[in-house]
């Protein structure tokens, strides 16, 4: 029986067989939280119905919530904003959005932090061929 199942009042027979569907790199961590009794009762009833243990259902629900949240555009924008404002470090960003997205944010942040190049406009080329046209932004066509 694993540590997570030991927290439960009953021995979970399926624990060793399914090992909570964790990979070899997943180290279980005990967490404690308060929950309304009716939710725990419903969770236990669902676990009994599917012949699973409470921990498996909780881990599955947490995993799905995290995946759904991490995929949302609002979440991605919040992570980027907090990273650009130095409220999140790179390792935290990597955990939240994945290595590829975190690296993209790192490159964009570096680009944003760079000073703009102080280049004068070229004066030897007339890109408008002498006929520049201006547009009034308020003009509706």
Tell whether 53 is covered by a domain: yes
Tell whether 123 is covered by a domain: no
Nearest to 108 by CA among 93, 125, 130, 96: 93
Same-domain check for residues 51 and 80: no
State the DSSP code for 44.
Answer: H
Nearest to 33 by CA among 22, 43, 23: 43
Q: pLDDT category, 26, cuts 50, 70, 90? A: confident
Same-domain check for residues 44 and 78: no
Nearest to 51 by CA among 26, 15, 1: 15
Residue 55: the pLDDT is 92
Q: pLDDT category, 116, cuts 50, 70, 90? A: low
Tell whether 134 is covered by a domain: no
Same-domain check for residues 78 and 111: yes
Question: If you write DSSP's letter for every residue of 70-118 in order, what string do you get?
Answer: HHSHHHHHHHHHHHHTTSS-HHHHHHHH-HHHHHHHHHHHHHHHSPPP-
Instruction: Tell me the pLDDT tens digit for each residue of 34-68.
Output: 999 999 999 999 999 999 999 999 999 999 999 89
Same-domain check for residues 64 and 81: no
Q: Look up the domain containing 59 and give its range.
A: 36-71
Same-domain check for residues 80 and 99: yes
Please give the model's pTM, rounded to 2 decimal places: 0.55
Tell whether 122 is covered by a domain: no
The SS3 call for residue 50 is coil
Tell whether 78 is covered by a domain: yes
Tell whether 27 is covered by a domain: no
Q: pLDDT category, 16, cuts 50, 70, 90? A: very low
Same-domain check for residues 89 and 65: no
Q: What's the number of domains the chain is made of?
A: 2
Same-domain check for residues 50 and 77: no
Same-domain check for residues 48 and 78: no
Tell whether 52 is covered by a domain: yes
């Amino acid at each position: 029986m694993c540590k997570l199942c030991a927290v439960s009042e009953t021995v979970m027979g399926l624990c060793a067989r399914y090992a909570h569907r964790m990979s070899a790199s997943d180290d279980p961590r005990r967490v404690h939280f308060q929950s309304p009794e009716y939710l725990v009762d419903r969770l236990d009833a669902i676990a009994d119905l599917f012949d699973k243990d409470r921990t498996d259902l909780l881990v599955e629900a947490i995993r799905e919530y995290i995946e759904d949240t991490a995929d949302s555009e609002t979440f991605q924008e919040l992570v980027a904003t907090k990273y650009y404002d130095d409220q999140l470090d790179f390792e935290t960003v990597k955990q939240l959005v994945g290595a590829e997205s975190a690296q993209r944010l790192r490159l964009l942040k570096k680009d944003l932090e760079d000073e703009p190049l102080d280049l004068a406009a070229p004066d030897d080329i007339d890109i408008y061929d002498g006929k520049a046209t201006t547009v009034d932004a308020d003009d509706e066509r």
